Amino acid sequence: MDHIAVTVNGQLRPLRGVSAHTAALDWLREIGLTGSKEGCAEGECGACSILLATPDEHGGTRWTAVNACLVPAAALDGQEVVTAEGLGTPEHLHPVQARLAEAGGSQCGYCTPGFACSMAAEFYRADRVPSGAPDIASGGDAAATTISADAAADAAHGPNGFDLHALSGNLCRCTGYRPIRDAAYALGDPEPDDPLAERRTRPAPEPRTTLLEVDGERFIRPSSLDEALRVITEEPDAVVVAGSTDWGVEVNLRGRRTPLVLAIDHLPELRAVTFGDGVLEIGAALPLTDVERRLDGRVPLLDELFPQFASPLIRNRATIGGNLGTASPIGDTAPALLSLEARVVLVSGEGEREVDLAEFFTDYRQTLRRSDELIRAVRIPLPLARFTAFHKVAKRRFDDISSVAVGFALELNGDIVSSARIGLGGVAATPLRARATEAALAGRPWDLDTVRDAASVLGSEGSPMSDHRASAEYRSRMLATALLKLYRTRRGTRAEEPA
């Protein structure tokens, strides 16, 4: 265990004494890097965000913002991180820090280090700055560099290409966000001698096999899929993690502990995206941000889902396998994948088997996965339905848990609904297919009478419960409304001629 270490702000730091359940945030603060703060301990506020060096598509490095409160410190073994302290100093502020100070983007300051790290990840995004954008990163007073919302390219992007959604996982109670936005829109390009910009040209750290044991608690990152399968066969009670965005909450807020945490986040067999003959396969342990990037708009339904799934900080770690494996009835990927007729690929030492996602969930937080199996991938049949949509009802537009989520995938033959597939979340103990509504649509004209009839059926699907997010009656009403909304916003849609 003596070799277990993390490069932090350019300095190699040994991970001595940390347990399998020590969060990266707690470890960083213990070694004196107290810029990152704990605000919520569940990845919703962003006060803990740090930068992690991850691979890009060209063999270089991408600076990725993640929640340090959810990432196990042991999961950073062999990796490279930058905290707010590593961005700049009081004497030599980083451009992000300088713009925040000039624009008045910090008041109490508690959230500021997290904002600075998330903003820095977007600052270093290689394709951020449009051609001809003004370079104002190196100086000027705040009034000169502040850019009004009217000058922005659209509601969510500045004229410098800065995507405000990069900050949607960071919360601030003081500023009202406008000065933070102004600071983001005042950023130009990194300077040529910027060391973090230069770091992008070199490969990210390679995954490293890890074995950490402290006080009877172990953290293992296996060297291969075969080794991972051997471990869970021998120790079926092991907790399997990839992004740890769910397990991290269990550890922080519910005090959950386990003798063995098995990290599968770097296994290449679980991180591929392939378009094959009649099927799209998505690796179970690939972060959602990377899935979105690799799909590049080729699955429109998932393109609608991604921006509504938690926040960028969460999507940079969360995985489809984790979201399905936890079997939460309000997990957002399940309704979308159900409507796409996805299948789950399970692998064990005995081989692989494929399960229809509609049959995968057996009860609340229960699935067909055996203790000796891992979710390797999900498979989506091709071609995709031409008429798709994802509707999510939540109290906030972004970074929130759904009360109801609905995935639609319809095929229209002229004005007739030739087939309909609808996935539901938040209306039963498990995600489910709206079979009765699908039958009510199939073979009928795509018109208001059909939609009203089917909407009344959809409102009765599942068995909604009342909780702190929504009442059962509200959930039923939202289901019916979802189909009517789909029709009113997409009623002009017609099936395209086959290519």
Average pLDDT of adjacent 10-residue blocks, the chain of 499 residues: 86 92 97 97 97 96 98 98 96 97 95 98 89 40 40 75 96 94 96 96 96 94 97 97 97 97 97 96 98 97 96 98 96 97 98 98 97 98 96 87 95 96 96 98 97 96 88 92 91 41
DSSP per-residue codes, 273-319:
EEE-SSEEEEETTSBHHHHHHHHTTSSHHHHHHGGGSS-HHHHTT-B
Q: Where are the alpha helices (DSSP H) in 187-224?
A: 195-199
Q: In which residue ranges of the chain is CATH 3.30.465.10 found?
A: 222-384
pTM over 0.85: yes
Q: How far apart are CA 11 and CA 27, in angstroms?
A: 15
Q: Evaluate whether 118 touches 49 at the Cβ level (below 8 Å).
A: yes
Beta-carbon contacts of residue 77 (< 8 Å; ≥ 6 apart)? 4, 5, 6, 15, 208, 210, 212, 221
Beta-carbon contacts of residue 448 (< 8 Å; ≥ 6 apart)? 487
Q: Evaluate whether 81 touches 6 at the Cβ level (below 8 Å).
A: yes
The predicted pLDDT at position 227 comes to 98
pLDDT in tens, 186-201: 999 999 999 999 999 9
Q: Which of 187, 54, 38 is nearest to 113 (CA)?
A: 38
Packing angle of the helix pair 112-123, 95-103 (nearest 10 deg): 130
Superfamily, domain 387-490:
CO dehydrogenase flavoprotein, C-terminal domain (3.30.390.50)
The DSSP bridge partners found for residue 425 are: 405
Q: How far apart are CA 273 and CA 441, in angstroms?
A: 33
CATH topology of domain 222-384: 3.30.465
Beta-carbon contacts of residue 195 (< 8 Å; ≥ 6 apart)? none
The predicted pLDDT at position 400 comes to 86
Q: In which residue ranges of the chain is CATH 3.30.390.50 found?
A: 387-490
The predicted pLDDT at position 129 comes to 67
The predicted pLDDT at position 153 comes to 52
